[in-house]
Chains A and B, each alone.
Chain A
């Protein structure tokens, strides 16, 4: 065996070792997923956002997935993340917003729906992600028979509901899904309403 032979043998050995090491590291590294224990979520449920009565004839509408809105955070993470995304914690509403929403509630009780909506919008200008404000707008639209608008407001509120699994956010989520179900009933979409109610825990 000459120098070349030794070298090629050495290279082969090195290659073997390297691949073993890579393989080992793959097995041993706790930051890799354990594919066998991870079960992918069911295929996202798509819901057509526009029912036949509202579909505009000349635009290509695309289904919007709602799965993203309703999915609850996994108990078991796929892998440990060193840095979590900042949770969208709903800060306490500033007192001015609470005061405005109280006024809106009064107007709502007196069936002054448009005035109530204007008051809620004032609150939203101050606190643009207030889920309580969007929820009220959704309820006002239900009262006014504007069902598709009601659903859209409720969807916007759902987006901003706290990620964490605390009781208040759960209550709010259920309220919002109820509003969506009612809105769909109002439009005569019973299947859609049933789908929405499935998300109520």
Chain B
């Protein structure tokens, strides 16, 4: 259509008026909005969640492989000879040299330094740094995940001062050569782009400055109309009016879109550097920096994981531009162009690799923090998780269940399980696996599967008896006979043993070791259900318990976590501590915000607990748990209890070594029979875990009044070792309830009994 010159001028004039009006009205508003967003909460920084950092000290029970696994997890680079590059390590015989990265912990800054570790006999033998021996070195903690909002954005903020100069130069050379010269818009850039676009008849090139790109990403969505382009331009100018080049550049570096992981957007060079290369920005090599800059033009098109060839070609273009801009030497170009992309193989692993443990962390956090704060304030959460123990626990549950399924238990893949491991003395959760498939973020059986506990609750009955040592010691005889109790609700309760047999009068220790239902129920009735329930309360069972005889045999529903709480108090010698997943929290600036200190409260006297601990060791030496010593050395002196419920719907085992308390549960989500007992199922899982986790011997504290002696297994009277049928026993020496006998006396007694 041909316009006359006058008509053209008329249109232009009207357009000009419109622009002026818009500008006068809209500009201040736009300006205010722009500044508010830029200065206010610029980005929502999700909380970062860290595992427990590895402590290195002389005598630490860590093998060379344990330490290598940890630093590999932290993406340290393995090299042949150690230099001074943080995040690198070298292995020389039984020695590991490394340069740590350093970290700002709750209680101070751990500096980056060069460290030498010597290992011997599965322990750290020597530890030195700078030529001197060091008492303690703490590695950076491994990030296990973050707390993200629905928008699924994450950031690793960088400060311009800490961004390598080489990187900035590269970025400017490729994306905005005249960054420091223009004032938000580059007319030359626009003109050039307009020319190219007209020539090509489409949108081929952007003439955007970094400022414009920032505006586009930060403020606006991805509309690409002309009016949007105009708005962008105006905002870019405004931005540069208010903020310095440095501020704009820093904002850009933290905003630039660099890729996608499923539904997760990767913004900012800090996160992208970790995501693609497993390194902080400062640890990148020139060709890796080039690749990051190369991706900016089109993160999907140039995705180095999915389109490596394209990415590589573009990277090499960038390398060329780096030479032209004088960022790297021309001689390096060929070498760099030939180098591989340098990606890590486990991208984005830190997004919730441990869903079971993370859900416990989130629940404990939600008691104090609103989810909004967790998703946006940049909190740093330091947890109790031990990645090495977690790995052992995951393997034990996953492979154990698989092996049992192959043997035909829990058919159709229906067998499920849960495993939780805590430190016996302070209640810290070292590992948590809520599903036989550890990566699944679904139903968490450790926290939420309320299941009948069966015999695993029996120690409460014996503990109630042992609190009254005038009447009861481990040597006391209990009748393992059929009996029946008429229930107030009508009907009778007639407990039966697992093997259907009655064993007559048995020692209390044996009733627990062999898990005799009849003897246990008998004892519970004698001691009194109210006493048993009181013990359960003090052991941490919080729900209302029906005062029925069947609770002595486990007619109670608890989650594995609640069972762990019960055994925690037993393991900690009668002191109750809360089960903790979090140690401390720092705010977004690295300042201490909250600490979860150690709390203990004595709820049982140490002698009762000590005697119970002895009995739980007997469970393993000669009772229902004895199969464990086919796979682990008996010098470990482990203590534990099996649990099997009606129709074998649940298989439980709870037990402790010196350094671990672990509770394993197996069952079917549809509550069908597993055809497993506690010892044929959960104990196997538990044993597999212990075999891989380097347990230390369990050494009860033996309160002052406990002595070891020998007793006759038939009469319960104290004797000597060489007397017939004598067994080891632990006793409280003060009480008259102990009867003594001689060997001859015992022989006669037995002869009399067997006549």
Contacts and interface: CB of A to CB of B under 8 A. Distances in A.
Interface of A: 18, 21-22, 25-26, 29, 31-33, 40-41, 49, 59-60, 62, 64-66, 68-69, 71-74, 77-79, 81-88, 94-96, 99-100, 114-115, 117-119, 121-122, 124-126, 128-129, 137, 149, 152-153, 155-156, 159-160, 163
Interface string B445-486: 000000000000000000000000000000000000000000
Contacts of B207: none
B704 A73 contact: yes
Contact of B534 (A60, A65, A71, A153): A60
Interface string B602-634: 111111000000000000000000000000000
Interface residues of B, number: 59
B704 A71 contact: yes
Nearest to B728: A83
Contact of A94 (B58, B107, B748): B58
Given A73-B704, A152-B575, A156-B575, 9 more contacts: A40-B736, A64-B603, A77-B733, A87-B702, A96-B135, A121-B597, A121-B598, A126-B60, A128-B425
A124 B598 contact: yes
Contacts of A94: 57-59
A119 B135 CA distance: 14
A68 B707 contact: no
Interface of B: 55, 57-60, 106-107, 135-136, 423-426, 428, 534, 537-538, 573, 575, 584, 595, 597-607, 699, 701-710, 718-721, 728, 730, 733-736, 740-742, 744-745, 748
Contacts of B744: 21-22, 25, 29
B729 to A, nearest CB: 10
Contact of B733 (A74, A83, A155, A160): A74
5 contacts: A83-B708, A99-B136, A124-B598, A149-B599, A163-B704
Contact of A159 (B538, B573, B598, B699): B573
B745 A22 contact: yes
B602 A83 contact: no
A118 B704 CA distance: 30
A64 B721 contact: no
Contacts of B58: 94-96
B742 A29 contact: yes
B597 A117 contact: yes
Contacts of B709: 81-83
Given A25-B745, A128-B425, A156 B600 contact: yes
Contact residues of B: prevailing secondary structure: loop
Contacts of A18: 748
A66 B605 CA distance: 7
A164 to B, nearest CB: 10
A68 B744 CA distance: 34
Contacts of B606: 68-69, 159
Contacts of B710: 82-83
The 5 closest A-B pairs by CB, nearest first: A128-B425, A96-B57, A99-B135, A29-B742, A85-B708
Nearest to B702: A85
Given A64-B605, A95-B58, A119-B107, A85 B748 contact: no
Contacts of A64: 602-605
* Most chain A CB inside 10 Å of its own CB: which residue of B58, B584, B720: B720
B602 A155 contact: yes
B395 to A, nearest CB: 24
B726 to A, nearest CB: 10
Nearest to A24: B744
B598 A137 contact: yes
A21 B273 CA distance: 88
A64 B535 CA distance: 12
Given A68-B703, A88-B702, A118-B584, A96 B136 contact: yes
A79 B742 CA distance: 12
A38 to B, nearest CB: 9
Nearest to A32: B740
Nearest to B734: A41
Contact of B705 (A49, A68, A79, A156): A68
* Most chain B CB inside 10 Å of its own CB: which residue of A49, A64, A117, A152: A64
B708 A156 contact: no
A74 B595 CA distance: 44
Nearest to A141: B597
A21 B735 CA distance: 28
A84 B706 CA distance: 9
